Amino acid sequence: MPIVRNSDAAYAAEADGAQSDGTQAEKRNPTERMPRKPPEAGRIGRTDKERKREACPSTMNLKPIVPFEPVRKEEIPAGPRWRHEVKLDGTRVLVYHENGQTRLFNRKLRERTAHYPELLDIGSYCRAKSVILDGEVIALAEDGKPSFHEVMKRDQIKRLSRIGEMRRAVPITYMVFDIVYADGRWMHDVPLAERLGALERLVEPTPQVQRVSGHPDGKALFAAVGRQGMEGIVCKDLHSVYAIGKKDDRWVKVKCYGDTIAVIGGYTLNGPTVNAVLLGQYDSAGRLWYIGHAGTGRLTREEWRELTEVLRPLTVARTPFVNRPARIQGAFWVRPELTVKVQYSEWRWQEGRSLRHPSIQAIVNVPPEECRLP
């Protein structure tokens, strides 16, 4: 069942009674209190030179900005000043429109104008004559959930002549959650609650563009997205300004994680010490399948050195995996004898995908043969 339905309202019902946070749009002109000055010098980024040829010569004065980023925490903030949104697994894109021209840039300031032509007819979804919108471009997998793998088919395309073909094969939706500039005035110093009012007034949802909805109960929403197998939630202080080029805890992301036990089938080195391990699990026929590699987690430097001493004697000449690992350059293979607990943000194993964001939580004393695919 697709989750993108009229401002992702599907989660409101799922969230055990969580409803829209009720943030009301101001009835007065939402730009009345907007500062006229642009962001501070030094916060404006340059465009990617390699992508300049993708767009027509610019007629706009607006320059791409580095977006405000949330910090990652484990605790969900609560209270009336907090708004909670579903964390959508897509790619961050800002839409810029001025002097009749529309351009798109991602969070790393790389131009994406040619990649998402669905968003260039800005008059079909935005009433502002000039604007900077912030949001997430998503693409749905067969299960109706946003898939990072799917949206990357659009975002990472090299031959732009294939855009028309990929537009049909991988349709996208732009989920708008903020507005930074509107009708000639900067809004980055305006509280989020007022920016949301402007967003509601100026952006009209369409099949390709939707406004992200907010919920007052973060714990209920978190539980709901966890049951859906989603990435997590983003919690935003309604009093927060949009801090261009910064990251702080006025915006917080809390991720849902899965965990599993996997066997180590290989490793890579940084100098003399193991810096990542290649992980696998067995199928019902007893074959070991590569499911991902992990080089982060809770292990200390000393534990990584101890792991190195354990793995070196297990080194063998041939891979123990029946499938080809995504990263084999510099890899050493080992007899699959050591097991670890791994935490991850997403795993579409039915589609042959590897673990996303895996991190080692501990070395565990579990027999390798008990490390089974789901």
Query: What is the structure's pLDDT at 58?
Result: 66
Question: In this predicted model, what pLDDT tens digit does every residue of 125-139 receive, in sequence order?
Answer: 999 999 999 999 999
Query: What is the structure's pLDDT at 156?
Result: 86
DSSP string computed for 297-310? BS--HHHHHHHHHH
Indicate if the alpha-carbon torsion angle 160, 165, 171, 173 is positive or negative: positive
Query: Which whole number is the average pLDDT over 58-85?
Result: 93
Helix or strand holding residue 50 (H, E): none
Residue 57 predicted with pLDDT over 70: no
Please give the share of the chain, as a percent, with pLDDT higher than 70. Answer: 84
Query: Which whole number is the average pLDDT over 45-49?
Result: 44
At the topology level, CATH places domain 258-370 in OB fold (Dihydrolipoamide Acetyltransferase, E2P) (2.40.50)
CATH 3.30.470.30 in the chain, residue ranges: 10-255
Alpha-carbon gap, residue 90 to 85, rounded angstroms: 14
Which pair of tokens denotes residue 367?
Answer: 């027999």
Name the β-bridge partners of 232.
Answer: 87, 255
Query: What is the structure's pLDDT at 26?
Result: 39
Question: In this predicted model, what pLDDT tens digit does every residue of 132-188 receive, in sequence order?
Answer: 999 999 999 888 899 887 898 899 888 999 999 999 999 999 999 999 999 999 999
CA atoms within 13 A on the CB side of 261: 14
Confidence of residue 259 (pLDDT cuts 50, 70, 90): confident
Window from 54-58, 236-240, 252-256, 310-314 with minimum mean pLDDT: 54-58
Residue 373 predicted with pLDDT over 80: yes
Confidence of residue 35 (pLDDT cuts 50, 70, 90): very low
CATH for 10-255 is: 3.30.470.30
**Residues 6+ positions from 110 with CB-CB distance below 8 Å:** 47, 48, 51
3-state secondary structure of 230: coil
- The size of the chain, in residues, is 374
Query: Which of these, 125, 16, 143, 128, lies nearest to 62 by C-alpha position?
Result: 128
Helix or strand holding residue 15 (H, E): none
3-state secondary structure of 358: coil
3-state secondary structure of 334: strand
Alpha-carbon gap, residue 276 to 279, rounded angstroms: 10
Rg (CA), the chain: 23
Confidence of residue 15 (pLDDT cuts 50, 70, 90): low
Residue ranges of the alpha helices (H) in the chain?
Answer: 10-14, 148-155, 163-169, 192-202, 218-227, 301-311
CATH 2.40.50.140 in the chain, residue ranges: 258-370
- For residue 40, how many other CB atoms are within 10 A of its CB? 10
Angle at 133 between CA 132 and CA 136, to 5 degrees: 145
DSSP string computed for 57-74? PP------BPPPEEEE-S
